[in-house]
């Protein structure tokens, strides 16, 4: 509707101009911590605000004047700055805003067209065809850059915080879809392993709802301390533990988990890598373990979900290509992928909880089927 009202040229002018500026202004004000200094109730004078964050008053005012047009902050009387409900939400979402607008993500986006020109084979012949890797002078992968380039040496910690902010934003303060979206009743008591579980923020928020279940977070060593600290802080020190584990390697045989969780892991990887992540889980599945996935699942066909929701799903599909040469997968894509990993893998249930953009997918091994 808006495109029709504006016409093609104004739509393009808006996209290539003000739309980009809006994102830049959000990033700038977020980076400066403006939303934390503006009081939740009442106002703060512009001069005081500028002094508190240590910037020039008139430069700040120019950024704020764009922000007002987005419904972000307001100036109820000249020089007095107050929150709107939108700007009040900025601090909680800040880790994701900062992650999504980092140099790393932007430089990758610059290379998407170049990557597409040379990406003729699927899977590609070498990693150099991935946009982020093409943009990096040393052609490092996304996780390596994250680890090595963060000025505070906290790249992984910041990434995990971004993931937490994203989940919290969609489901309010609760992680309910992780509790309601999987068949925990069939698990009863025992161990559940979260593969690529980051800093364990999901378990730290659901363990109280699942009294019989202990969780083991497996991830890269960079996430160990953060997981332990978070578990302690939430009073889950005896329920949530951490194991450094590369998910391409065989699973430790002594664990015998009731289920594995893979939340937002597969969308970072191309099909062949996903197969290498799933196959080490088959021995435990032959003993009854289930797989619980949480992923964005775009529709197989048009019109299956509302346009605004499909846009949220397709936006990360492009992002996954930019960062990893990977993708978001529809239910059909997942079924084809599981078949590739082991033909006995069956999608038992897919749930699309209304309160989140993420879907919950349960997969079991059909032991009666011959491989």
Establish if 198 lies at the interface with ligand SAM (CB under 6 A).
yes
Establish if 244 lies at the interface with ligand SAM (CB under 6 A).
no
Establish if 295 lies at the interface with ligand SAM (CB under 6 A).
no
Establish if 229 lies at the interface with ligand SAM (CB under 6 A).
no
Angle between the N-to-C axes of helices 103-110 and 142-149, in degrees from 0 to 180, rounded to the nearest 10: 140
Q: What CA dihedral angle connects 85, 48, 26 and 13, to 10 degrees?
A: 110
In DSSP terms, 349 is beta-bridged to 362
Q: Which stretch binds ligand SAM (CB under 6 A): 59-67, 82-90, 127-135, 244-252?
A: 244-252
Q: What is the CA radius of gyration of the chain?
A: 22
Establish if 197 lies at the interface with ligand SAM (CB under 6 A).
yes
Q: Let me know: does 244 contact 219? Beta carbons within 8 Å.
A: yes
Q: Give the span between the Cα atoms of 98 and 26, in whole angstroms.
A: 10
Establish if 328 lies at the interface with ligand SAM (CB under 6 A).
no
Site for ligand SAM in 265-294 (CB under 6 A): 265, 268
- Which strand (E) or helix (H) includes residue 107? helix 103-110
Q: Let me know: does 262 contact 217? Beta carbons within 8 Å.
A: no
Establish if 246 lies at the interface with ligand SAM (CB under 6 A).
yes
- Show which residues are catalytic: 267
**Of 163, 165, 297, 357, which lies in the binding site for ligand SAM, with binding defined by CB under 6 A?**
163
How many residues in the chain?
Answer: 371
Q: Which stretch binds ligand SAM (CB under 6 A): 39-47, 78-86, 103-111, 194-202?
A: 194-202
**In terms of CB distance, is 24 or 246 closer to ligand SAM?**
246
Q: Let me know: does 202 contact 263? Beta carbons within 8 Å.
A: yes
Establish if 327 lies at the interface with ligand SAM (CB under 6 A).
no
Residue 297 is encoded by which pair of tokens?
């699942």
**Of 32, 168, 178, 264, which lies in the binding site for ligand SAM, with binding defined by CB under 6 A?**
264
* Residue 370, SS3 per DSSP: coil
**In terms of CB distance, is 73 or 328 closer to ligand SAM?**
328
Chain residues in the site for ligand SAM (CB under 6 A) = 143, 156, 163, 196-198, 219-220, 223, 246-248, 263-265, 268
């Amino acid at each position: 509707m808006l495109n029709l009202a504006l016409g093609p040229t104004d739509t393009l002018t808006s996209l290539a101009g003000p739309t980009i500026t809006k994102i830049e202004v959000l990033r700038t004000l977020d980076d400066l911590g403006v939303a934390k200094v503006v009081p939740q109730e009442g106002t703060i004078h512009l001069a005081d605000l500028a002094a508190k964050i240590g910037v020039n008053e008139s430069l700040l005012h120019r950024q704020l004047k764009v922000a007002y047009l987005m419904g972000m902050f307001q100036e109820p009387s000249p020089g007095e700055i107050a929150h709107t409900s939108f700007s009040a939400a900025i601090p909680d979402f800040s880790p994701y805003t900062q992650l999504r607008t980092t140099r790393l993500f932007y430089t990758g986006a610059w290379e998407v067209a170049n990557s597409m020109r040379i990406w003729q084979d699927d899977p590609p012949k070498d990693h150099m065809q991935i946009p982020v890797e093409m943009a990096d002078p040393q052609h490092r992968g996304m996780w390596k850059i994250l680890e090595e380039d963060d000025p505070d040496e906290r790249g992984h910690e910041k990434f995990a915080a971004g993931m937490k902010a994203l989940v919290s934003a969609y489901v309010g303060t609760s992680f309910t879809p992780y509790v309601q979206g999987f068949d925990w009743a069939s698990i009863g008591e025992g161990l559940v392993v979260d593969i690529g579980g980051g800093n364990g923020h999901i378990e730290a928020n659901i363990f109280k709802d699942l009294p019989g279940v202990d969780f083991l977070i497996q991830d890269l060593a960079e996430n160990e301390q953060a997981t332990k600290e978070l578990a302690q802080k939430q009073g889950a020190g005896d329920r949530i533990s951490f194991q450094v584990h590369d998910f391409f390697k065989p699973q430790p045989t002594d664990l015998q988990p009731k289920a594995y969780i893979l939340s937002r892991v597969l969308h970072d990887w191309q099909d062949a890598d996903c197969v290498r992540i799933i196959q080490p889980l088959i021995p435990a599945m032959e003993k009854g373990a289930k797989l619980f996935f949480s992923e964005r699942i775009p529709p197989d066909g048009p019109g299956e979900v509302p346009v605004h929701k499909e846009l949220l799903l397709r936006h990360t599909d492009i992002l996954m290509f930019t960062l990893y040469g990977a993708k978001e997968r529809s239910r059909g894509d997942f079924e084809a992928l599981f078949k590739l990993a082991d033909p006995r893998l069956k999608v038992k249930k897919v749930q699309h909880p209304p309160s989140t953009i993420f879907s919950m997918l349960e997969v079991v091994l059909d032991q009666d089927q011959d491989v």
